[in-house]
Amino acid sequence: MKIEELYKQFKACSSVSTDTRKLVKDCMYFALKGDNFDGNKFVDKAFEGGAKYCVVDNENAVINENCILVNNSLISLQELAKFHRNEIGIKIISLTGSNGKTTTKELINAVLASEYKVKATVGNLNNHIGVPLTLLSFNESLDFGIVEMGANHKKEIEFLCNIAQPDYGLITNFGKAHLEGFGSEEGIIEGKSELYKFLKANNKIAFINTDDDKQTQQINDYPKIITFGTRSTNNHTIKFKEANPYVVLSFNDTQINSQLIGDYNYGNIAVAVAIGQYFKVSSQNIKQAIESYRPNNNRSEIIEKGDNTKIILDAYNANPTSMLAALKNFKQLPNGNKYLFLGDMFELGDSAKKEHQAIVNFIEENFSNNVHLVGKNFFETNTKDSINKFSTFEELKPILPALDLSNSYLLIKGSRGMALERILEYI
């Protein structure tokens, strides 16, 4: 089927879905296949759930005239998303990076939404399926669409750019995330910079944090850049004031008292300020939007419990770069009882042993006690006797209720698979 014909049927639908558990009436269902599932087997369930059309790539799944048979359902979803993006013609801002993508996306969305019609990636739907679904949720009534892009190997950002066709783009940072897939830190920089290469090749605009040397090195001979950061020579100068624990910064005589912790969040806030300024959002609206934003979903949340206990919950994800940044920020907090609960960092491949040991070495130099490490990789590191190690969460769990955490700061951080937010149930 030609994409133009599929698009006509899409326009008659209310939305797009790939999950029969999340259907809405008159949606278009795409039957995707994975290692452990085949959406073609659930076509009857999709129609029962309210689907108007079902796009399938198995002729045996065609059960009525509203089944659309294609060669590959996933490729059709991606081609449809690209066609739709070009049809609606709105401005697309894309972002990627090793850390802070979702927080940055939410901040940009909050700033622009104060004066424009904007829609952004929901949650972290940022891969080869999520990006098409995000684009298909946009319509021509919007001024901006914000598309988050994730990647764990080279050529993935390039592929997503070819679908989303961004007009503007930014990279939050280059960190040690997904080393297993990218192969090295150089591979990470090369992979993430595929966004810059797309923008340059298509004469589009990149927002560059000039405080980040790794980013400035990627933009030689770049014709269209908007710079931001602490330097007075930037297009948008944004001054960092403090992070104790919340980030405070200023621009154009306007001070922002954010509810984000850690100086590592400065860049995430700064790019939202810069984009707001570039698109003529008033300083007051930028300030209000950022100050009103509260992190959630286990991302740098501060949770207060009885007896003056403050918990920094950052258990959504972790890699060596974000872990070290969190530890440095935690060290800078006011003196007092400090407890560390750190979980393994995933997808590091052959670098896992070295990177976990490097974190342990930093801890031993900067924290004297109350350190709790959880997971196979941390358990196998060489540590002093003062550091408590547990190979699994089940081993950690029994000691939690007995800890005296009054008048204390806690940092809870680990990769998503460690699910360290469970600690909150036992303290």
Query: CATH no. for residue 22?
Result: 3.40.1390.10
Distances in Å between the Cα of 323 and the Cα atoms of 30, 100, 180, 263, 329 are: 38, 12, 17, 13, 10
97 and 169 assigned to the same domain: yes
* Segment 26-38 mean pLDDT: 93
Are 123 and 172 in a shared domain?
yes
- Examine the pLDDT at 332 and tell me if it is beyond 80: yes
- The predicted pLDDT at position 139 comes to 97
Confidence of residue 218 (pLDDT cuts 50, 70, 90): confident
Output the CA–CA distances (angstroms, integers) from residue 39 to 6, 48, 54, 72, in the order listed: 19, 14, 10, 12
Domain that holds residue 393: 301-426
Please give the C-alpha separations between residue 116 and each of 110, 112, 121, 204, 272, in angstroms, as whole numbers. 10, 6, 16, 21, 14
Q: Tell me, yes or no, whether 243 and 109 share the same domain.
A: yes
pLDDT tens across 231-253, in order?
999 999 999 999 888 999 999 99
Q: Which residue has the higher pLDDT, 145 or 186?
A: 145
∠ CA 404-405-408, nearest 5°, is: 140
Same domain, yes or no, for 129 and 159?
yes
pLDDT score, position 221: 72
Per residue in 54-107, pLDDT (tens digit) is 999 999 999 999 999 999 999 999 999 999 999 999 999 999 998 889 999 999
Which pLDDT does position 60 carry in this prediction? 95
**Long-range pairs of 329-332 with CB within 8 A, sequence gap ≥ 24:** 329/243, 329/245, 329/261, 329/262, 329/263, 329/264, 330/409, 330/411, 331/366, 331/367, 332/243, 332/244
pLDDT for 169 equals: 97
In this predicted structure, the answer to whether residue 404 has a pLDDT above a threshold of 80 is yes
pLDDT at 133: 97
pLDDT tens digits, 266-286: 999 999 999 999 999 999 999
Amino acid 84: pLDDT: 98
Cα–Cα distance, 405 to 152 (Å, whole number) = 38
Record the tokens describing residue 236, joined without a space. Answer: 């948008």
What pLDDT, on the 0 to 100 scale, is given for residue 412? 96
Per-residue pLDDT, averaged over 108-136, amounts to 96
What is the chain's percent helix, strand, coil content, to nearest 5?
40, 20, 35
Which one has a higher pLDDT value, 316 or 17?
17
Above 90 in pLDDT, residue 287? yes
What's the structural domain count of the chain? 3
347 with 324: CB under 8 angstroms? no
CATH number of the CATH domain containing 284? 3.40.1190.10
Answer whether 0.85 is exceeded by the pTM: yes
Q: Is residue 346 part of a domain?
A: yes
| Residue 80 included in any domain | no
How would residue 180 be classed by pLDDT, with cut points 50, 70 and 90? confident
Per the CB < 8 A criterion, the answer to whether 154 and 178 are in contact is no
What is the pLDDT, as a whole number, of residue 35?
A: 85
Averaged confidence pLDDT in the chain: 93
User: What is the reported pLDDT for 217?
Assistant: 82
Task: Kindly state whether residues 387 and 338 are assigned to the same domain.
Answer: yes
pLDDT band at 1 (very low <50, low <70, confident <90, very high): confident
More confident residue, 176 or 354: 354
- Do 138 and 266 reside in the same domain of the chain? yes
Rounded to an integer, the average pLDDT of 288-317 is: 86
* 308/310 Cα distance (integer angstroms): 6
pLDDT above 80: residue 19: yes
> What is the spatial distance between Cα 67 and Cα 25, in angstroms, rounded to a whole number?
16
For residues 166-176, give the mean pLDDT. Answer: 92
Q: pLDDT band for position 223 (50/70/90)? A: confident
Query: Is the pLDDT at 353 greater than 90, yes or no?
Result: yes
Domain stop point among 292, 314, 337: 292
State the residue for tokens 């003196």: 335
Clarify whether residues 362 and 286 are in a common domain: no
Q: What is the pLDDT of residue 309?
A: 84
Range name among 130-139, 240-249, 373-382 with the lowest pLDDT average: 240-249
Taking phi over 0 as left and psi of -120 to 50 as alpha, with beta for the rest, 178 belongs to left
Whether 267 is covered by a domain: the verdict is yes
Contact 340, 367 (CB under 8 A): yes
Domain-ending residue, one of 292, 321, 350: 292
Query: Tell me, what's the pLDDT at 185?
Result: 86
Residue 84 falls inside a structural domain = no
**What is residue 427's predicted lDDT score, i.e. its pLDDT?**
87
Residue 42 has pLDDT above 90, yes or no: yes
Q: Is the pLDDT of residue 220 over 80?
A: no
Looking at residue 120, its pLDDT comes to: 97
The pLDDT of residue 324 is 94
Q: pLDDT class for 300, splitting at 50, 70, 90?
A: confident
Structure tokens at 363: 């801890």
Q: How many CA atoms lie within 13 A of 90 on its CB side?
A: 25
User: Cα–Cα distance between 15 and 26 in angstroms, integer?
Assistant: 7
Nearest Cα neighbor of 249 from 280, 204, 286 is: 286
Supply 185's token pair: 């830190």
Q: Which ranges of 293-406 would DSSP assign to H, the alpha helix? A: 320-332, 352-366, 376-379, 393-396
User: Is pLDDT above 80 for 179?
Assistant: no
User: Does the pLDDT of residue 178 top 90, yes or no?
Assistant: no
HSE-up of 372 (CA within 13 Å, CB side)?
21
243-263: burial string, b at 16+ Cβ within 10 Å, e else: bebebbbbbeeeebebbbbbb
- Whether residues 399 and 265 fall in one domain: no
